[in-house]
Amino acid sequence: MKEKNIFFIRIMPGFLLLLIVVMLCICRNRENGKPLACLAMTSADDSFVASVAQELEKQLKTCGNRVLVSFSDNDMNQQINQIENYVAMHPAVLVIQCTGDSSAYDKILERVHDDNMQVVVFSSSGKLEHADIQMVNSSLGRGICAVNLIRSFLKKTNDATTEKPAKLLLLGNAATEADIMTMAGYQLIGEKYLRHYDMKHLKFYREDGKKVEYTDGYGIRCAVEEPTGGLILDKNGDAILNPYYVPDIELITAEKYMIIQTNLQGQQAMDAFLGDRENRDIRIVVAASGEAAVGAASRLEECLSRGDLSYSADKIAVFGVDNTEQNRRLVSEAAKGNGIFRGFVGDYSISKESDNIIRSLLV
């Protein structure tokens, strides 16, 4: 039975870090002929995931490996079948970008824990017992980082011409548990108090409950003025103020906008939203899918060119996810006054994380 070396690294998605990990694993598993490396990825419609898969394939082939890549369109059952097929091939390296609950993957990996196979997993839904290396990302943190981007934009652009609260539309992506946690992070911007999150209904619990108090910033005791059921209480039974709450926004989280993943869906969502003339005063759109954000920005820019929106371009922003070449270009153009795609939540300090991975592997 091979020795297992499970470790965890907390990163914002950072899939390109996997290149180093996989190449080191290949060195330990090289046999006569070309070893096989199999990649089970989530969605080819996501430009970030697709570019990662392409780069991995190129680098692995350069190292002398045969490479198979599959995408599951965020369908967990389809991905499980793909992984089953890969396991039957006994590859030297199996890379899994989890679509759903980690326990389902462990059932497969348990059967190959003594095989000559290095298993590398990306998961944000918990530890996988039978992975050699697991990369865990902070999905909730992505949402919180987006909140900070939004807060900064409002601080810079609010003036006598802008009404309060600012209208903010969330385009969600509930394809995976990680995506849902990211949405929870986004939704914190509209919650005055810390609450438990309902993963099934994609919202914070807000039910009738007993009277609860909190201490405001001036040290004054106040009664919670909204439903108290679902509040997270401190050791004294008091409500906890949410440090990411922005009172000057109107957060829109309609169910029909909660599964928006592709560029086209982003455009269609904006068409539907702006079909109501009362929404022409939109200030901010934030998307949990990188492609959806790009689509939403392009549609809003078309509306701006026709004068269909209440505010000028400098008062409107779209925020997305993923550190891609496309997103960096769009942000650069917006900074020059040629667009409204103003930021994204993506990878940070890749070189530092690479050093951490290498040190962990060597140890």
Distance CA 174, CA 180 (A): 5
Residues of the chain with pLDDT under 50: 1-17, 27-29, 31-32, 348-363
Looking at residue 37, its pLDDT comes to 87
Looking at residue 136, its pLDDT comes to 60
Looking at residue 175, its pLDDT comes to 74
Tens-digit pLDDT profile for residues 337-355 = 999 999 988 754 333 443 4
Q: Is 0.75 topped by the overall pTM?
A: no
Task: Calculate the dihedral angle through the C-alpha atoms of 346, 361, 104, 322, rounding to the nearest 10 degrees.
Answer: 10
Looking at residue 321, its pLDDT comes to 86
Looking at residue 2, its pLDDT comes to 46
Within 10 A of 304 (CB to CB), how many other CB atoms are there? 16
Tens-digit pLDDT profile for residues 177-215 = 777 888 888 899 999 999 999 988 889 999 999 999 999
